[in-house]
Every structure is written in structure tokens, then in C-alpha cells.
Amino acid sequence: GAGVSQTPSNKVTEKGKYVELRCDPISGHTALYWYRQSLGQGPEFLIYFQGTGAADDSGLPNDRFFAVRPEGSVSTLKIQRTERGDSAVYLCASSLNEQKNSPLHFGNGTRLTVT
Amino acid sequence: AQSVAQPEDQVNVAEGNPLTVKCTYSVSGNPYLFWYVQYPNRGLQFLLKYITGDNLVKGSYGFEAEFNKSQTSFHLKKPSALVSDSALYFCAVRDQTGANNLFFGTGTRLTVIP
């Protein structure tokens, strides 16, 4: 079946620009997560949605980062006034429900490069 | 607070030999533990999880992991390594009573030598 889909796969942008990263979760999965992975590091949690609402946004680094999931399916991660330090692979994951024993299923990520 | 330690950045093993990738964790309560594998330019793929019960968990591609509560460890193992097992492996933990996010280690690169 279809897995988690992330677009674009690569994004190059100039410092100061605005970017949007899209995630299409596995059909029927109610929980959606965004992570960021820098080179040589493990994924770092950004935000978690249960349905349409952000249940935990404690990992967002600052107010330049924002995410939405208006219909409880597709999610968009938005970064304003991008900085070179934002360059990383942004991973989206979904799980069947919010139960903590449910594994996360990841997309292939969006590689963001800020020049 | 929760944390995961993967003490080895790199593990090399000869094809056909057994492999072990180490992981220790720290949580306030009881853990749910997971292993993921990442191939180049790909997302993370779920391998196996420990929820409760039998300490030896079997997962995809012949991998297994052993939960040891006293040592707070969850080492990944495979009896006979394949060259195709070469990849980046991540251990992850969730506190059963804490926040919902999955907390990852820094990863271990496994290289299986033909």
C-alpha cells in the first residue's frame, strides 16, 4: 500500500525566504509527526498532530516554524525567514493512532538547503 | 526526561557473522522501545518494537532485540549478517506515561564486509 509521501524531495532556497513542506500520511492514520534530521544526528521531534490539532509543538525551535493539518490528513510545515541553520532533512511520520505502542511510519523526507 | 544512547557510531562485521548494535535508554517510567533502519536518501523503516511480555522481540529481515530492564538496554541482533544489512540503525524510546513523541538515539552505522 501507499506509504507516507513527502514533497518536494529536495528544496533549495535563499536565506530569508519562506518555504512550505508537505506531508501526505498513510490513509486512516490519525497521528502525524514532524521531525528534523541533521547530518550525523538522529531525528529530532518538532511537532505532533492528533487529528487536526497540534497535540504537542514543544519541539518547534522558534516562532519561524509553524505547521498545520486543517482536515486531519495532509500536513504542511511552514518556515518563515529561513536561515542557513535550518538546512536539514525534514521527516514526516504517521501512526495508526495516538497510542504509544504504535510505531511511526516515515516518509523519505524533504532535504532543505538554505543558501 | 527520556534519552537514548547508542555508544558505537560504527560497527563492522563480516558477512555471515552475528551482529549486535547496542542501545541503552533512560525514562522516568516504563519504556516502549523501537528499532529503525535508514538506507541512503530514504526515510526510517520500522524494524521491531518492545511493548511488554517476552524480553526477546523478533522483527523484520531476521532481526531481533533483547530487552534488559536491569541494564536498561535494548540491543539489536542478527545471527548471520548480510551485505544488504549495511545501513544506519536508530534506537528509539517512548515513556509509557510521558510525552507522545518518540525520542531517537544518534544512530549506528553498520557495515557488513563481504
Q: How far apart are the C-alpha atoms of A57 and B33, rounded to whole Å?
A: 22
Across chain B, mean pLDDT equals 94
Contacts of B21 (CB under 8 A, 6+ apart): B6, B8, B11, B75, B76, B77, B89, B91, B108, B110
Comparing A90 with A99, the larger pLDDT belongs to A90
Eight-class DSSP state of B83 = G
Q: Does the CB of A41 have a partner CB in chain B at under 8 Å?
A: yes
Residue range B1-32, pLDDT digits in tens: 789 999 999 999 999 999 999 999 999 889 99
Res. A46: pLDDT tops 60: yes
- Optimal mutation site among A100, A101, A110, A111, interface B, most CBs of chain B within 10 A: A100
How large is the average pLDDT for residues B61-76?
Answer: 96
Please list every residue in chain B whose beta carbon sits closer than 8 Å to the beta carbon of residue A104: 34, 44, 46, 102
How large is the average pLDDT for residues B71-78?
Answer: 97
Please list every residue in chain A whose beta carbon sits closer than 8 Å to the beta carbon of residue B92: 42
Across chain A, mean pLDDT equals 94
Q: Across the interface, do A101 and B49 touch by the CB < 8 Å criterion?
A: yes
Which chain B residue is nearest to residue A48, measuring alpha carbons?
B101
Q: How confident is the model at residue A56 (pLDDT cuts 50, 70, 90)?
A: very high
User: How many helices (H) and strands (E) would you count in chain B?
Assistant: 0, 12
Q: Please report, for residues A6, A92, A115, B75, B106, the alpha-carbon distance to residue A21 in angstroms, rounded to integers and kept in the order given.
A: 8, 10, 17, 35, 24
Q: Does the CB of B100 have a partner CB in chain A at under 8 Å?
A: yes
Res. A35: pLDDT tops 70: yes
- Optimal mutation site among B23, B37, B44, B52, interface A, most CBs of chain A within 10 A: B44
Q: What's the confidence (pLDDT) of residue A1? A: 55
Q: What's the confidence (pLDDT) of residue B9? A: 96
Residue range B83-105, pLDDT digits in tens: 999 999 999 999 888 778 899 99
Q: What's the confidence (pLDDT) of residue A74? A: 97
Report A:82-111 residues touching B (Cβ under 8 A).
91, 93, 98, 100-101, 103-109
How large is the average pLDDT for residues A35-62?
Answer: 93
CB atoms within 10 A of CB B99: 17
Res. A103: pLDDT tops 80: yes
Q: What's the confidence (pLDDT) of residue B41? A: 77
Q: Which three cell numbers stand for residue B90?
A: 536508530
Q: What's the confidence (pLDDT) of residue B97? A: 83
Q: What's the confidence (pLDDT) of residue B12? A: 98
Res. A78: pLDDT tops 70: yes
